[in-house]
Amino acid sequence: MLDTHHHLWRYSPEEYPWIPSGSPLATDQGLPQLEAATSDTGVTGTIAVQARQVVEESTDLLQIADQSPLIRGVVGWVPLTSASVASDLESLASHPKFVGVRHVLQDEPDDFFLRDDFHHGLAQLPKFSLRYDLLLFQRQLPAATRLLDRQPELGIIIDHLAKPNARNGQIEKDWQVGMKEIAKRDHVLGVKFSGLATEFSNDAPIDPDTIRAYFLETLEIFGPKRVMLGTDWPVCLLRLDSYLDWIRTVTSLVTSLSHDEQEQILTKNGESAYQLETFAGK
C-alpha cells in the first residue's frame, strides 16, 4: 500500500505551535518512528507532506527521504506569493522525490484563494511537473472551486476529504454539494481518505458508521480511480491509538470492492496522481 499523506518533524514548541502540549504529537516523529509505525502494516511506500511553512521544511524532508526507499515522494512548501518562486521551485524540483507543493490554505481567509500573487505561484507548478495539495475546511469549498477554475492546467489533490464537519450519523449537505462541484473538474486528480478521525469533536466518540458513510459518499462522488489512502500520521494519533488503526479502518472499508478497485485506492491512484512511476526514472 501507498500512504499518500503523513508528516515528519523534530519537535519543538516554537517550530510547531499548533501541536498540543503533552499530546502524542509533542515528540520527535522522524524516519525511525515512521518505519516502526508502518512495519507489518502492508504499507511499503509513503508521501511525506509539509507541516511548517518554511522552505527549509522541503529541504529537510528531501534529506530524510534520501535515507529510505519507504518515502517515495515529498510534498513541500515554497513561498508561492514570492516573486522568486520560480527559482525556489527549480532548485527543489531537480530532486527526484519532490512531487508537489502545499500551502496551509485552511488558515487563510477566503480572499487569499484568489490572490493574484498566489495564483502566479500556482501557475509555475505545471512547468515543473509538480502537483498541488489543496488543504481546506468544508466551509472553504466555494472559494476552492473558484481557485480550481483559475488553474485548469494544474493537477490538484484534495487533502483530508476537505475536512468535513464530522457529526455522528450524517453527511454534511454543504460538504456533499461542494465536493460534487469540485469533482466535475478533471484536473482534480484525487481526494485523500485521511484526516477524518480528527474532525470529530474531542468530546464525541469516533463513529464507525459515519466514517463508512463518508467513504461511500466520497467513492460515489469521485469514483474508485480518484480516491486514495492517506493516514495523516502522526496527527491521527490525537484520536487513534496507532497508525495501524487507520490502515485497518480503510482496508476494512474497501473489502466489498473489486480487487482492481482496492488496488487503485490503496496504491495506484496515489502513484498516478503524484507521477511516481515517472519520477522513479529521473
Residue 265 confidence (pLDDT): 98
Highest averaged pLDDT of the listed ranges 21-25, 120-124, 196-200? 120-124
Closest CA to 161 of 90, 250, 78: 250
pLDDT digits (tens, 9 = 90+) for 201-260: 887 889 999 999 999 999 999 999 999 999 999 999 999 999 999 999 999 999 999 999
CA end-to-end span of the chain, whole Å?
A: 22
Query: What value does the mean pLDDT of the chain take?
Result: 95
Task: Kindly report the CATH number assigned to the domain that includes residue 262.
Answer: 3.20.20.140
d(CA 149, CA 220): 22
pTM for the predicted model, two decimal places: 0.96
What integer pLDDT is reported at residue 168 of this predicted model?
Answer: 73
Bridge partners of 75, per DSSP, are 49, 100
pLDDT of residue 253: 98
pLDDT of residue 139: 97
DSSP notation for 163-228: ---B-TT---HHHHHHHHHHHT-TTEEEEEE-S-GGGB-TTS---HHHHHHHHHHHHHHH-TTTEE
Q: What is the extent of the structural domain holding 246?
A: 2-280
State how far the alpha carbon of 102 is from the alpha carbons of 57, 85, 105, 133, 267, in Å.
11, 13, 8, 5, 21
pLDDT tens string 36-54? 999 999 999 999 999 999 9
In this predicted structure, what is the pLDDT of residue 169? Answer: 72
Higher-scoring residue by pLDDT: 147, 279: 147
Mean pLDDT check: name the lowest of 118-127, 170-179, 196-205: 196-205
User: Residue 278: what pLDDT?
Assistant: 54
* Number of domains into which the chain is organized: 1
